[in-house]
Amino acid sequence: MTDPVSDLAKTLGYRFADLNIMQQALTHRSAGGRNNERLEFLGDAILGSVIAAELYERYPQAREGELSRLRSSLVRREALAGLAQELEIGRYLKLGAGERKSGGHHRDSILADALEALFGAIYLDGGFDSCRDCILSLFGTMLEQVPEPDKLKDPKTRLQEYLQSRQLALPEYAVLDVSGDAHAQSFTVSCTANAAEVMVTEGTARNRRHAEQNAAEKMLGLLYAG
C-alpha cells in the first residue's frame, strides 16, 4: 500500500484486504475504466440504513417524519462533502484531465460520491459490521450535535404550527416582485400574520418557495421576540 492511501485507510479506521476495491472507490468515472459509480450506489444505501437505525435507537419518541428529517440532515450532499473534506479525500481521487482542470478534487458532488463509494467498498471488503462501525465512528460528532427533531422543520411549517397552537389564522404569502432574467430570477415575497397585531415580513430568494421560507423565518423571529 502506498503511503498516501495508507494514510487515508488509517483515517477511515479500516484496513482493506483488497486494495483494488479501495482504489476503485476513489476513481471517478471521468478517469475511465472501473470507477466508483456502482460502489457509490451501494454505499449510499448502506449509509442510509445505518444512520436510520442509529437515529431509531437514539430517538425512541420521534415520529417517522422527524426521523426522516434527521437522517436527511446527516446524509445530505453538503454534509457528506464536508466530512470528505475533513478526511482530505480529494487528495486521493483519480480524475480525468477535464475534471482535474475544473477543480473536481474540491467539488461537493464528487467528494460526497467518493465517500459513499468508500462505504460500499468497505462493505464488500469486510462486511456489514465493519462498514457500520466505520460509518458510526466518522459520523460520531455529527450524531451528537444533530438538532432535536422539531428544530429541523422548515420555517413555513414551524410558523404554521406556532399560529395553529394559539388558534390564530394561518399566514398569507404574496409575491411582491419578480426581477432578473429568466435563468436568474429573484423573487420577493411577503408573509402576513395576524397575531396580537398584523405583522408583515419580506423574503427574497432565487425561487418563490425559498423566498416564502425566508419571510416565514423573519416572521418567527418577530413572534418569538414579542
As annotated, the active-site residues are 44, 116
**184: its cell numbers:** 436568474
3-state secondary structure 124-146: HHHCHHHHHHHHHHHCHHHHHHC
* Residue 202, CB-side half-sphere exposure with 13 Å CA sphere: 7
CA distance 124 to 116: 13
- Strand-strand pairing, 198-205 and 186-194: antiparallel
Q: Are 129 and 49 in contact (CB under 8 A)?
A: no
In order, the DSSP letters of 96-108 are -HHHHHTTGGG-H
